Amino acid sequence: MPEKELNYIASREAAENSSYEKEGGVEVGILPFQNDKPKLPFFERFVDSFRRYEAEELNLDPNLTEIEKTAIITANTPLSRALKNRHLQMIAIGGAIGTGLFVGSGSRLHTGGPAGVLIGYFLIGTMIYATCQALGELAVTFPVAGAFVTYNTRFIDPSWGFAMAWNYAMGWLITLPLELVAASLTVDYWNSTENPAAFVCIFYVVICAINFFGAKGYGEAEFVFSIIKVIAIVGFIIFGIVIICGGGPNHEYLGARYYYHPGAFANGFKGVCSVFVSAAFAFGGTELAGLAAAETQNPRKSLPKATKQVFWRITLFYIISLLLVGLLVPYDDKRLTEGTSSADARASPFVLAIVDAGIHGLPSVMNVVIMISVCSVGNSAVYASSRTLAALAACNQAPKIFNYIDKKGRPIFGVIVTCLIGALCFLVAARNQDAVFSWMSALSGLSSLFTWGSICFCHIRFRYALKVQGRTTEELAYTAQAGVWGSYYGVGLVILVLIAQFYIALFPIGGEPNASDFFQSYLSFPIILVFYGAHKLWTRNWTLYVRARDIDLDTGRRELDLDVLKQELLEEKEILAGKPFYKRWWHFWC
């Protein structure tokens, strides 16, 4: 690794970790870069925080390749490292609990039936588990700015990395105005006479304000949002079991009645296929824990725990809750198709189950949870898109202004631009708002699937590079529980889901083939091809992939002495081996 980079990393870590000295038997904190300058007034400190972080300039060798420059620059990011273990845990636990589960599952229940929903969400869930395990291994090893956004350039190909990064950024940029509109429409559950633009304005200001507090603001907000969502899901599971067993106000035993009539499946194989993309949308945001790695104090300790939580999140929050939903609401219930948006609680099977049970007050509580979930997704959209734009700018793949990191570690211009694009939410007052938002949604429809497939393929390439370069997984602080075969499974399933979605887009359920429906379902794919081809033409780099022997396996690591790391890992394994079985079991899964 270049000496310039080593010096930079050392100075950065020294700046972020307070040291202590003994003075008269009392510990005295020595703050980073402490000097004798008087403390500025609050307003002056506030203004000063927006000035550029004056990091030591990296004098990169002009002979370095684009991939080598990207690895060094993203490893030396001045982004804040303010996220703690509890933040990352809640980002991982609550990241995928949103409208895709609470509301989107309703339309999928109608088209796929209760068994179709379970199959679709289970298969996507297993793919997400393998993907998050692969991402956990890569992000712990390389906690760099942009994480999987830049891994594509490093392990696959710069042009594919460019296409995937802009695909991911654009997906979140479009998500923000869509979710702001959805949040305002949740209010229709109580009062449909008010102008939705007024509520859009409220949610817009709140989400933008949260993200101007930087990574810590995002982390604290997600911590609160996720706790509320987790409590709601656990409460619904308890409620569902009681109602199914006949413990509701009407004491009616439901059991598996709706699996027999109207049935377990709706629309057969095509119905099951229709569930896949909705399930992928529901799990969107699961990868955010990996994106936050560069802003985490100790990714080696916190990321593995956050990654392991994926198994429990899928099992508890999705499989169990959707099993109960299928037992509580028949798939032919016409109310499942009455929703006017992705956040309309009137079409939520969770709300319908409570309404049918005859319990007053609880439907409104669940609608509040749906509104909080939508705000959570909007909050994540600002964080994800601004960090992705910063990583792109650092790699000369976006305007340099997006790489402006202020003294608080915020990519401030990325946040500002994301919020400005979020102002498209005020189109909710336009007459043709439905058509506008439908096509905006189409731009990011398959974004998550391509992102997850690329993460798995990056992991495959990383493991292959280790093998080719004569190195082993013994030097890794964390290895994926699913191994490299989990990544092969993830890539394979993504390809199958894309084929299934192509089939549904071409031959929609209950309709005739038409160009409008097809492109609203599959527009993301040609856009990615355009980005990929444009980058190839611009750079005139016609190689299809980075050779395994040329992949950089060292730049970006926080543990620079691999011999010391191997010794620490060996000691940790020996300590764990001496613990009781239940503690080893807990460590493996949690």
Residues 579 and 525 in one domain: no
**pLDDT tens sequence across 176-219:** 888 787 777 777 777 666 667 778 888 888 888 888 877 778 78
| pLDDT(474) > 90 | no
Residue 24, pLDDT score: 39
**22 domain residue, yes or no:** no
Contact 347, 375 (CB under 8 A): no
* pLDDT-wise least confident of 11-20, 226-235, 278-287, 296-305: 11-20
Give the position of tokens 């694009």. Answer: 421
| Per-residue pLDDT, 5 | 46
Residue 318 predicted with pLDDT over 50: yes
Residues 385 and 523 both lie in one domain: yes
Count of structural domains, the chain? 2
Same domain? 467 vs 572: no
Q: Say if residues 184 and 490 touch (Cβ distance below 8 Å).
A: no
Residues 6+ apart with CB under 8 A from 589: 308, 311, 312
Percent of the chain with pLDDT over 90: 13
CA nearest neighbour of 77 among 470, 402, 480, 534: 402
Q: The domain spanning residue 540 has which CATH number?
A: 1.20.1740.10
Q: Tens digit of pLDDT for each residue in 377-401?
A: 888 888 888 888 888 887 778 888 8
Sequence-distant (6+) residues with CB within 8 A of 343 are: 99, 103, 179, 182, 183, 185, 186, 370, 371, 374
State the pLDDT at residue 455: 93
State yes or no: pLDDT of 57 exceeds 60: no
Global pTM reads 0.82
Specify if 141 maps to a domain: yes
**Do residues 536 and 581 share a domain?**
no
Q: Does residue 37 carry a pLDDT above 70? A: no
- More confident call, 93 vs 300: 300
Q: How confident is the model at residue 6 (pLDDT cuts 50, 70, 90)?
A: very low
State CA 590 to chain mean position distance. Answer: 20
Please check whether residue 450 lies inside any domain of the structure.
Answer: yes
User: Residue 26: what pLDDT?
Assistant: 38
Whole-angstrom distance, CA of residue 142 vs CA of residue 392: 17
The verdict on 478 and 588 lying in the same domain is: no
Task: Decide if 29 is inside a domain.
Answer: no
The parent domain of residue 56 ranges over: 39-90+97-559
Residue 343 lies in a domain: yes
pLDDT of residue 582: 79
Residues of the chain with pLDDT > 70, as a percent, come to 76
Burial of 19 (0-12, 13-18, 19+ CB in 10 A): exposed
As a whole number, mean pLDDT of residues 117-145 equals: 86
Within-domain flag for 12: no
pLDDT band at 25 (very low <50, low <70, confident <90, very high): very low
- Overall average pLDDT of the 310-327 stretch: 82
In a domain, 342, yes or no: yes
Angle at 427 between CA 391 and CA 402, to 5 degrees: 15
> At 494, is the pLDDT very low, low, confident or very high (cuts 50, 70, 90)?
very high
User: What are the φ/ψ torsions at residue 581 (nearest 5 degrees)?
Assistant: -60, -45
Q: What is the pLDDT of residue 409?
A: 74
> Omega before 158 cis (within 30°)?
no
Residue 577 and residue 448 in one domain:
no
Domain identity same for 438 and 581:
no
14 is a domain residue: no
Question: Would you state the pLDDT for residue 534?
Answer: 93
Query: Do 589 and 453 belong to one domain?
Result: no
Query: Is residue 176 domain-shared with residue 318, that is, in the same domain?
Result: yes
- C-alpha 436/C-alpha 433 separation (Å) is 5
Residue 344 confidence (pLDDT)? 58
Mean pLDDT, residues 43-51 taken together: 66
Q: Is residue 228 located within the same domain as residue 211?
A: yes
Tell whether 539 and 576 lie within a shared domain: no
Residue 411, sorted as left (phi over 0), alpha (psi -120 to 50) or beta, turns out to be beta
Question: What whole-number distance in Å separates Cα of residue 104 and Cα of residue 296?
Answer: 32
pLDDT bucket at 461, cuts 50 / 70 / 90: very high
pLDDT at position 463: 95
pLDDT at res. 425: 81
286 with 412, same domain: the answer is: yes
